[in-house]
Structure 1
Amino acid sequence: MILTLALLAGLVVAWLLIGAVEKFRLGLRFTQALLYVPFKLAYRISDNRITVVRKAQVPVIYVISHQSRFEPALMLSLLPDDTLHILDEVSARSPWLEPWRELGRTIAFNAEHVFVSRRLVRVLKGKGRLAVYLPDAVEPDVKTFRLFRAVTRIAMQADARIVPIFVTGARSLPVSLTPADKAPRHWFPRLSISVLEPMTIAELVARNPDQASNTNALFDRVAEARLFGTDLDRGLFLAMRDAADRVGASHTIIEDVISGALSYRKMFIGARVLGRRFEAVTASGEAVGVMLPNANGVVLSLVGLFSAGRVAAMINYTAGPASVTAAIRTAVIRTVVSSRAFVEKADLADIVAAAETGGARLLWLEDLRTSVTTLDKLAAALLWRLPLQRQDAAKPGVILFTSGSEGTPKAVVLSQKNLLANAMQAEARITISPADILLNVLPVFHSFGLTGGTILPLVTGVKLFLYPSPLHYKIIPEIARKVKPTIMFGTDTFLANYARTAKDGDFSSLRFVVAGAEAVKPETRRTYRERFQAEIIEGFGLTEAAPVVAVNTAIHGRDGTVGRLLPAIRMKLEPVEGINDAGQLWLDGPNMMMGYMTADRPGELQPLTGWHDTGDIVAVDREGFITIRGRAKRFAKIAGEMVSLGAVEMLVQSLWPEEHHAAVAVPDKRRGERIVLVTTADEASAEELRQFGKKAGAAELMVPNDIVKVEEIPVLGSGKTDYVSTRKLAIDRLGLGVAA
């Protein structure tokens, strides 16, 4: 009995001592500190940003993402005690929350109704503080979005600062408000409190003045708190391991048509075995080429390279021998990881020779596999959680090569932080969970296929099914019928071809399809909506942005646009001569590349400093939805007028929707440039196009007089139109004799 009492007394003393430490460390009242101690100890909370919360100047509104039943208790323990907490009805009545409710002021409201704003504005104008708990919704429905509008209106009327708060890990708590299949439960997950600096609505809007919506500015700021709840400095290997901890090491994470399925544990074991081999033949920080198809082997190789502190240089094996040799030399690649079976099946002997001509030697996965010993496997099985080298997310992680759709390819150097930031920016905008299955047919040498189609699922626990070629138009719908993916990535060209060969039930499991790289045609969007009940959400990106910049969502989308900017990306529009309603897009954000490597300065990182000029001409509406008018290089200057070649293609597509078209500009002695239409439409005629353009209200300058008919439009491995080859083809056919 005495021992029990002594033990209890010791616990009480320890509780009081820890409470005293927390009181002085965070500036809490002693009763707040005492009730915070159980949370701090049980969930090892990272709370160093709470000082930002407590020092925020009044009037201030704390906007908390309500993910679990714990947030109200946690915030009542940590926020200044004069804060008025607006609780949902359950939190306002729960008996277990009573001790915490006594710490501050609380009122209840029905989440189905909008706040009574006058009273709250008076509280704020009286130098007050509010804490509002908004539903944790990446894509809020209409009712939830009304709450964002209400908070925005209150903040503007009171000129209050906004402080978003996101508790990372709360979705995994036993009292989470998210269904268990979408957020696996853990009794004591580690929690981290993400807090952003206080800003007024006017200051938030001023960061991206071209997006004038006040409510969207608040919505984006809350999404940023979610984004920065992830420690972007941990790097990709540790982020993937964190995902394995959340969903379970035995959770199936990758699968292909040959090797079958692998769990996180098996993936890390295989990656460690390969990483050891990469360490033995390459130097730390060295660029190692990866020339592999979409299969489990490419994921194991990537994770192995990240673990070993090497840079993965993704070789575009569809680009042709000259481009591959140039890429090898530009990035100073001495070793290329590949597979003999793949090279033989894809008939890539000339690409292998091109890599060797550039100075690289091939490291074959088949040889590595036969060299693995039982001891290697045992060591990897025991140490799979540990990276082989110290991880530094700020250093180069991946080298990608631009598609060269308009000129000579360049090497784009992306840090692991760039890639992880972009994956988590997408996760903060699109609703995904471990309950999803993602079918990726886009090659990993393409930035869209790498970040969106591979890295995103690996760091979020979404099961990834890899298919080696996007060109198998008949097979991919059959694969989809068997795999039952809920998410698919693709380009308009690929998606349209899949739809032509698919049976009605093949894509019935899809929730949505993310499309990028080229504009989505209305008929493609309509086909997927009507036949498969799947929404195509169009996005926009560039390799230099790792790559996703903007995206529509299934709930917040606008056809004909590429959506709104992802969280934490800033943009500015520079005026373009001859274009009044759009501007040239410049970007800045945590996902923007480290810099370029070029052929004239091989192996040398030419760092990006400040804003990046995308070369895209865009228009932005009041809600922030971006419409791509075309590349700056994809405008023709005809008699001093700027004409969008993309707009010309859209006009032609409306007339001959079943065919493929490309508009290019060629030199013209009289007008400077003229537009040539390259098309697969046998029946295309300049007169019919002219009459159609007149009816559509198109300017006369937009309508091409020259038409070049071809069997196929040249395309790149990414599915984009190869405009360099197309322009050269047009010049040759027209006999202009001008070098492309």
Structure 2
Amino acid sequence: MIQWTAAILVVMFAAILLAAIREMSALGIGFRRALIFAPLKLIYRIDTSRMKRARDPKPPVIYAVSEQSKLDPAIYQAILPPDTLHVLDPASADSWLVQTFRSLGKSVVFDKDHMISNRRLVRHLKGKGRLAVYFPEDVEPNPVNFRLYRAITLLARKSNAQIVPLHLRNARFLPSSFTPASKAPRRRFPRLSVHVLPAKRIDDLVNEAGKNYVTPSNALFDRMALTRFDTTDFSVGLFRAFVQAAKIYGPSRIILEDTVTGELTYKRLLIGARVLGKRFSAMAAKGEALGVLLPNANGVVVTFLALQSAGRVAAMLNYTAGPRNVVSAIETAKIRTVLSSRVFIEKAELHAVSEAIEASGTRIVWLEDIRKSVTTVEKLLAALQWTKPLVRVDADDPAVVLFTSGSEGAPKGVVLSHRNIHSNAAQAESRFSISVEDTLFNVLPVFHSFGLTGGTILPLLYGVRLFLYPSPLHYKLIPAAAAKVRPTIMFGTDTFLMGYARTAKDTDFESLRFVVAGAEAVKPQTRELYKDRFNCEVLEGFGMTEAAPVVAANTTSHARANTVGRLLPGMSVRIEPVEGIEEGGRLWVRGPNVMLGYMTADRPGELQPLGDGWHDSGDIVTIDREGYMAIRGRAKRFAKIAGEMVSLGAVEMLVQALWPEDRHAAVSVPDRRKGERIILATTAAHPDKKTIIQYGKKNGVAELMLPSDIVRLDEIPVLGSGKTDYVTTQKKIEDKLGIGDRAA
């Protein structure tokens, strides 16, 4: 027994010694530091391959560390250059492990609120020194914690220091994590990896973002968020990303629920996907698109993941678009097989859609038939291999085809890769503070990019329990359902949110922390209503199907009224001037979430990639000094009147302020004298043009912005995504006014 113990100790010491020697070579650190660090390296399998980025920059350097646990400063004191002065927080400095590692270098412990005035730190940096500052891990820092960003920004600019952000992946799950265990499940020995971004000075970060688009402290904040985003492994396909989430948050964790089939754990979800994936593999070749015609329910998530496991592409069909548009989408993506449910077709009364699909020569496979034919052997094999995808995929392979809303014309197929969708979910997670304590209530359909990425994939990848509701149009039923589910997060559009509020009791949405709203502008009345009645913040964001979809968003720590918030990490924009528009310009976007390309009806099944990675959003925007973006309107949603460009969206906002309880839509039609004129469609009971003119004059609105005619409609047509259906609205207006030609 003694001999065995001695042998084990010899092997352990040899392993530690070997690891120490390797770290000496890899990190350029001394033997003593390497020897003390080696046990941690072996226990947590710490990946330090990116540390060259941290060690190479010449001083002065500030290491901006996102401190997630008491282990973080111990590790960094061992692997950062020995001349680094570590500014430790009292909360972690008293740890015995940190105390052990403090002997390896220089460190001080004091209140970080006084960093700006600390002359010692300034002298240290100006003397070609290195400084490690430990930031609170908060994704959305409160005003007190954000002071540290301002302090370090000033310190860096005073000393001309470069900033090197560092983030220890998975440290938030350690037993010594600063994140409460209720928000981050504990794992005793998670695999850790050090993520480092290249060194840059604050002024360089500001210049890269655009001097007029960001403040220095926000530039540092954005850089830290980008480091968090960088910790995600984007090399894997979506199925493997879900498997990783299951391992982190627990295979037996209940993660998904709907109104019909009940609850699913991660493991049951992935087993079901493996079973269906095997069947789908026989229906289409690898990389081929299969149509998905299903509602918000557990079945659509299982089906989606099954297609990802099988290496097939999920083409999400908008069943609210009508038979003609559904068939057009099928032809555009060259879909031979559509996956659907008889029960869904029956309940949603979509017989015309299913008949049109079959009449086009496309086969419909009913999930009920597959479910009945699944054998016990298939289930057992899937249970044994639930962590393995059926087919290996590349992260840049197509994963999804979504179709643009068609709010202004014929829809196009938008091809998104595994990396596009995974990136957008990670971008959102690096901006919004979400955890396993949260429950997300999703009413937005999965054929809509916001409903798919934000409302479905994001929560499932980050351990947030997801409740899927089948239709956003159940204005009376949804508040009651929310009262039972008690969600903390909800996604929606302004139209839907106002509809729910009208029928909701004050207690129905009391559990909500915040609502993320997109697809259309959020009215001030909506924000005020949810704040006053439900004590809930409505955070407006902005996106497009082509960006998978989120581009910018307000958060609880960074929010500004009448804007759609600030850009997500990893995104770049450029604004091009537009003739006739003085304020703002046309927005172009680029980033890891921007699509692979389009499929169009005239070139079916053919991916038309973006030439240089930039996508023309077609939106006219402004961005203020702090990076907050405001949408002035779609380029197509401007009318050219007497040579002046007038935003139809601004016309709608003007009338909405006058008649807040009603719905409005402004369109333009040809005019021989002025080029175009504005027509307002409204649900107001007694709309009066004179009242609008008086209100416009009172608020200093130019006469060109006032509608020349008003058409009353019983309701303004809305797409399944919640956006105004301008194509149908325009047709109704033209029919009522007897106008033969549409506006261009």
Q: CA shift at 1:113, angstroms?
A: 4.1
More displaced 10-residue stretch of structure 1: 14-23 or 635-644: 14-23
Q: What is the SS of the residue equivalent to 1:704?
A: coil
Q: How far off is 1:112 after superposition?
A: 4.8
Alignment correspondent of 1:696: 699
Asked if the contact 1:117/1:150 (under 8 Å) is kept, the reply is: no
Aligned mates of 1:142, 1:739 — CA distance in 2: 51
Q: CA deviation at 1:732?
A: 2.2
Q: In the TM superposition, what is the alpha-carbon distance from 1:98 to its structure 2 partner?
A: 2.7
Secondary structure, counterpart of 1:429 in structure 2: coil
Query: What is the letter of the counterpart of residue 707 of structure 2?
Result: P
2:37 alignment counterpart: 36
Q: Is the contact between residue 333 and residue 359 of structure 1 (CA under 8 Å) also seen in structure 2?
A: no
Cα distance in structure 1, aligned partners of 2:475 and 2:331 = 34
- Counting aligned pairs with the same residue, the percent is 60
Q: Which residue of 2 aligns with 1:595?
A: 597
Query: Residue 251 of structure 2 aligns with which residue?
Result: 249
- SS of the aligned residue for 1:539 comes to strand
Moved more, 374-383 or 492-501: 374-383
The amino acid across from 1:56 in the alignment is P
Shift of the 718–248 alpha-carbon distance from structure 1 to 2, 3 Å rule, reads same
* Match status 1:22 vs 2:23: yes
How far residue 60 of structure 1 moved from its aligned partner, in angstroms, is: 1.2
Equivalent residue in structure 2 for 1:683, among 686, 695, 706? 686
Q: Is the 8 A contact 2:70 2:98 kept in 1?
A: no
Q: Paired residue for 1:707?
A: 710
Partner amino acid, structure 2, of 1:658: E
Counterpart mapping for 1:391-430 below 5 A: 391-430=393-432
Pairwise CA RMSD of aligned residues? 1.2
Work out the CA distance in 2 between the residues paired with 1:176 and 1:314: 40
Corresponding position: 1:462 with 2:464: yes
Query: 1:114·1:146 contact (CA, 8 Å) conserved in 2?
Result: no
- Give 1:41 deviation, angstroms: 1.0
Aligned to 1:676, what secondary structure does the other structure show?
strand
Structure 2 CA distance, aligned partners of 1:115 and 1:354? Answer: 68
Q: Is the 8 A contact 2:669 2:742 kept in 1?
A: no
- Tell me, in whole angstroms, the C-alpha distance in 1 between the residues paired with 2:146 and 2:356: 54
Q: Give 1:3 shift.
A: 5.2
Q: Distance in 1 between matches of 2:285 and 2:455?
A: 28
Rounded to whole Å, the distance in 1 between the matches of 2:598 and 2:91 is: 54
The answer to whether the 8 Å contact 2:514/2:538 transfers is: yes
Instruction: Verify: 1:730 aligned to 2:712, yes or no.
Output: no
State the Cα distance separating 1:12 from its structure 2 match.
Answer: 2.4
Structure 1 unaligned residues grouped into runs of 5+: none
SS at match of 2:237: helix
SS in 1 for 2:388: coil
Q: Secondary structure at the match of 1:350?
A: helix
Structure 2 residue aligned with 1:175 = 176
Query: What is the Cα deviation at residue 9 of structure 1?
Result: 3.7
Matches within 5 A, 1:45-194: 45-194=46-195
Shift of 1:593: 0.4
**Whole-Å separation in 1 of the counterparts to 2:224 and 2:336:** 45
SS at match of 2:282: helix
1:629 is displaced (CA, Å) by 0.5
Once the two structures are TM-superposed, the CA of residue 716 in structure 1 deviates from its matched residue by 0.8
Give the secondary structure class of the aligned counterpart of 2:17.
helix
1:109/1:115 contact within 8 Å kept: no
1:235 to 237, 252, 257: 237
What secondary structure is seen at the aligned counterpart in 2 of 1:281? coil
Shift of 1:728: 2.0
Q: Is the 8 A contact 2:163 2:201 kept in 1?
A: yes
Tell whether 2:324 aligns with 1:286.
no
Letter in 1 for 2:105: G
| 3-state SS in 2 of match to 1:504 | coil
Say if 2:550 is the partner of 1:521.
Answer: no
Q: 1 CA distance for matches of 2:114 and 2:321? A: 56
Give me the whole-angstrom Cα distance separating, in 1, the residues matched to 2:639 and 2:615: 23
Contact 1:92 1:107 in 2 (8 A): no
C-alpha deviations, 1:704-723, integer Å up to 9, x for none? 12001110111111110011
Q: CA deviation at 1:92?
A: 3.0
Aligned partner of 2:658 in structure 1 is 655
With structure 2 as the length reference, what TM-score do the two structures score?
Answer: 0.98
Tell me the alpha carbon deviations over residues 436-456 of structure 1, each in whole angstroms, 9 at most, x when there is no partner. Answer: 000000000000000000000
For residue 339 of structure 2, the aligned residue among 337, 340, 365 is 337
**Residue in 2 that maps onto 1:452:** 454
**Consecutive unaligned residues in structure 2, runs of 5 or more:** none
Shift of 1:123: 1.6
Aligned amino acid, residue 232 of structure 1: F
1:302-321 aligned at under 5 Å gives the runs 302-321=304-323
Q: Tell me if structure 2 keeps the 8 A contact 1:328–1:359.
A: no
Q: Which secondary structure state, in structure 2, belongs to the residue aligned with residue 167 of structure 1?
A: strand
Q: Contact 2:164/2:196 (CA < 8 Å) preserved in 1?
A: yes
Shift of 1:388: 0.8
Residue 90 of structure 1 deviates from its aligned partner by: 3.4
TM-score, normalising length from structure 1? 0.98
Distance in 1 (CA, whole Å) between partners of 2:444 and 2:674 is 41
Structure 2 match to 1:431: 433
Structure 1 residues 359 and 152, CA gap change in structure 2 (3 angstroms): farther
Paired with 1:44 and 1:335, the residues of 2 have a C-alpha distance of 45
Q: Return the alpha-carbon distance in structure 2 between the equivalents of residues 370 and 6 of structure 1.
A: 57
2:118, 2:741 → 1: CA distance? 67
- CA gap of 1:46–1:298, structure 2 versus 1, over 3 A, is same
Deviations for 1:3-45, whole angstroms, at most 9, x for unmatched residues? 5445434432332222111111222221221122112111112
More displaced, 289-298 or 190-199? 190-199
Tell whether the 8 Å contact from 2:16 to 2:42 is kept in structure 1 after alignment.
no
Contact 1:425 1:567 in 2 (8 A): yes
* Cα displacement (A) at 1:103: 1.3
The aligned amino acid for 1:429 is R
CA shift for structure 1 position 682: 2.2
1:467-546 to structure 2, matched below 5 A, reads 467-546=469-548
| Aligned position for 2:389 | 387
User: Number of matched residues?
Assistant: 740
Question: For residues 459 and 374 of structure 1, what CA distance do their matches in structure 2 show?
Answer: 29
- Indicate if the aligned counterparts of 2:44 and 2:189 stay in contact, CA closer than 8 A: yes
Aligned pair partner of 1:616 in 591, 615, 619: 619
Deviates more, 1:58-67 or 1:32-41: 32-41
Secondary structure of residue in 2 paired with 1:233: coil
Query: Aligned partner of 2:631: which letter?
Result: I
SS state at 1:554 partner: coil
SS where residue 71 of structure 1 aligns? helix
User: Which residue does 1:350 correspond to in 2?
Assistant: 352
Shift of 1:420: 0.5
Match of 1:631 among 625, 630, 634: 634
Separation of aligned partners in 2, 1:97 and 1:647 = 57
Judge conservation of contact 1:328–1:358 (CA < 8 Å) in 2: no
Q: What is the rounded CA distance, in whole Å, between the counterparts of 2:147 and 2:374 in structure 1?
A: 59
User: Aligned equivalents of 2:425 and 2:152: distance in 1?
Assistant: 28
Identify which of 257, 267, 271 aligns with 2:269.
267
Cα separation, 1, equivalents of 2:365 and 2:114: 63
Q: How far is the alpha carbon of 1:286 from its aligned partner?
A: 0.7
1:575 shift after superposition = 1.0
The one-letter code sitting in structure 1 at the alignment partner of 2:47 is S
Which of 551, 556, 559 aligns to 1:557? It is: 559
Q: Give the counterpart letter for 1:21 in structure 2.
A: R
Q: Is the 8 A contact 1:437 1:464 kept in 2?
A: yes
The alpha-carbon deviation at position 117 of structure 1 amounts to: 4.2
Matched residue SS, 1:232 = coil
Q: Shift of residue 513 of structure 1?
A: 0.5
CA shift for structure 1 position 2:
5.5
In the alignment, the residues of structure 2 paired with residue 93 and residue 374 of structure 1 have an alpha-carbon distance, to the nearest angstrom, of 56
> Residues 64 and 132 of structure 1 are in contact (CA less than 8 Å); yes or no, is this contact kept in structure 2?
yes
Displacement after TM superposition at 1:139 (Å): 0.4
